[in-house]
């Protein structure tokens, strides 16, 4: 069986299965390889500071999960390292056995006798979602210890929540974060650079009924006040409060450590395209208004006490001293089939004739800018690749809202690739390593007409 070279992005997707993802500091990957239809994957690594070469090989178990089988250093040349790597990959040999005490991973995409949900059918039954199906499958296999209901939930009625967990794993590990699932809850313990935080994931889900006089819209409200303080903010509030009431911070393994809630919005069709602004409005109790200043329009923060609606839900979750144990709220609007489809597509799973166009809005960093910048690009174009130093990454839409009253803050160094929002001198500001920040987008994946 031949050992063949693979693109860096394909290697990185497989590499999400490694304990800290495809990150090998001080080494970088200089060549990636696979054999037996990716039963074995390996990389030759280089430390640019010293010139040292190393290898890392990982092979699939009989349940398709990867395990590291070789990690060596001290090679004199790339050729010497590659000879050792190919031997370590053991082409033609059967998969690795599962060690005693390790649970066999059930197949994610085999439906069996279950009645599949609509999203699962879309993922597995449409040719233009083949890249997403492959990306989803690899990240599921990379999870340290998914719970026993993960597969049935994903295939039926809890698809969105489980997709969000898969997204978080990819976004965390991509940043060199160690992700553990040693406890039933919270969902993750993440560690990096001497910092750690427990993270519990939750999604705002659809409601078919009116709640206390508020109808959850299927489109973006025209009123800015309604969009920031109305139904979307109420949905975020109710969803977060439902998790807060479970008292995760009191669990023995969580007690005294940073704790964050991670939330994604699926409360209405395409709601994550337009609802993200409501989250900081609820968390910080600040309503951004556009006013005319001496240099033109400018955004001005206005303090609010309550969200819209007859329930009068208090605004400013982070203003409550009782919430000091909540280190931060993590948010992303990228836990979508569009994101997984793009990342699988960019990794090399490109069905002939399939084209992807991503359109949306960028954050405009210009002083006093109050409107976003529109964009529309081919995902495979040089223009799109040039937006970020290494092209599109999982963590670019990951946002961390820091609680200014947190007794145990979430360290910025824990998630360096996220966009961090925090208060400074009484104002809400942000920190990001990305020059181009996508606020929201849609991806159109179609086969070219013959």
pLDDT tens track for 407-434: 999 999 999 999 999 999 989 999 999 9
Asked if 48 and 30 count as a contact pair (C-beta separation under 8 A), the reply is no
Positions of the chain with pLDDT under 70: 1, 206-222, 267-274, 288-301, 365-371, 450
Model confidence pTM above 0.95: no
Q: How far is CA 248 from CA 187, 232, 252, 347, in A?
A: 10, 25, 9, 37
Asked if 187 and 237 count as a contact pair (C-beta separation under 8 A), the reply is no
Asked if 334 and 441 count as a contact pair (C-beta separation under 8 A), the reply is no
Asked if 1 and 87 count as a contact pair (C-beta separation under 8 A), the reply is no
- pLDDT value of position 19: 93
- pLDDT value of position 315: 94
- pLDDT value of position 2: 92
- Positive or negative CA dihedral for 180, 184, 185, 187? positive
337-346 helix and 118-125 helix, angle to the nearest 10 degrees: 20
- pLDDT value of position 216: 39
Most distant CA pair in the chain, distance: 72
Distance CA 55, CA 29 (A): 9
Distance CA 396, CA 432 (A): 9
Distance CA 231, CA 146 (A): 32
Q: How far is CA 213 from CA 176, 231, 265, 311, 353, in A?
A: 45, 10, 20, 9, 48
- pLDDT value of position 289: 57
- H/E element, 282: helix 278-284
- pLDDT value of position 302: 78
3 state SS of 227: helix
- pLDDT value of position 88: 98
| Beta strands, E only, 87-170 | none
Asked if 392 and 380 count as a contact pair (C-beta separation under 8 A), the reply is no
Q: How far apart are the first and last CA of the chain?
A: 36
- pLDDT value of position 303: 87
Asked if 198 and 186 count as a contact pair (C-beta separation under 8 A), the reply is yes
| Beta strands, E only, 232-324 | 259-265, 286-293, 296-303
């Amino acid at each position: 069986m031949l050992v063949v070279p693979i693109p860096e992005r394909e290697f990185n997707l497989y590499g999400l299965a490694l304990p800290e993802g495809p990150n090998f500091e001080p080494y970088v990957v200089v060549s990636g390889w696979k054999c037996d239809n990716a039963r074995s994957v390996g990389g030759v690594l280089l430390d640019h500071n010293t010139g040292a070469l190393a290898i890392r090989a990982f092979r699939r178990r009989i349940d398709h999960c990867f395990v590291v089988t070789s990690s060596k250093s001290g090679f004199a040349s790339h050729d010497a390292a590659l000879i050792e790597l190919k031997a370590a990959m053991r082409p033609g040999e059967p998969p690795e056995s599962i060690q005693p005490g390790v649970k066999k991973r059930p197949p994610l995409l085999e439906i069996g006798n279950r009645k599949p949900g609509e999203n699962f059918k879309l993922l597995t039954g449409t040719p233009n979602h083949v890249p997403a199906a492959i990306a989803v499958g690899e990240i599921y296999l990379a999870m340290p210890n998914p719970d026993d209901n993960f597969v049935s939930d994903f295939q039926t009625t809890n698809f969105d929540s489980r997709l969000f967990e898969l997204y978080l794993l990819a976004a965390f590990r991509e940043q060199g974060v160690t992700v553990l699932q040693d406890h039933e809850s919270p969902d993750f313990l993440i560690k990096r650079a001497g910092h750690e935080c427990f993270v519990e994931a939750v999604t705002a889900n659809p409601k078919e009924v009116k709640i206390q006089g508020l109808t959850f819209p299927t489109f973006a409200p025209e009123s800015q006040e309604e969009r920031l303080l109305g139904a979307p903010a109420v949905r975020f509030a109710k969803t977060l409060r439902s998790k807060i009431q479970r008292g995760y911070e009191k669990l023995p393994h969580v007690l005294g450590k940073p704790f964050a809630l991670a939330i994604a919005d699926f409360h209405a069709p395409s709601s994550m395209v337009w609802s993200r602004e409501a989250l900081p409005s609820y968390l910080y109790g600040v309503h951004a208004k556009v006013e005319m200043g001496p240099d033109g329009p400018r955004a001005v923060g206005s303090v609010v006490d309550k969200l819209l609606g007859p329930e009068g839900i208090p605004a400013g979750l982070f203003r409550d001293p009782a919430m000091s144990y909540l280190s931060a709220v993590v948010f992303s609007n990228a836990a979508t089939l569009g994101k997984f489809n793009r990342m699988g597509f960019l990794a090399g799973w490109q069905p002939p004739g399939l084209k992807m166009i991503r359109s949306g809005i960028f954050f405009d960093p210009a002083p006093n800018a109050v409107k976003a910048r529109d964009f529309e690009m081919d995902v495979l174009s040089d223009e799109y690749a040039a937006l970020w130093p290494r092209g599109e990454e999982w963590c670019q839409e990951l946002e961390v809202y820091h609680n200014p009253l947190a007794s145990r803050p979430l360290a910025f160094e824990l998630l360096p690739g996220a966009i961090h929002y925090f208060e400074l001198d009484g104002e809400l500001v942000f920190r990001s390593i990305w020059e181009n920040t996508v606020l929201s987008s849609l991806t159109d994946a179609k086969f070219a007409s013959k």
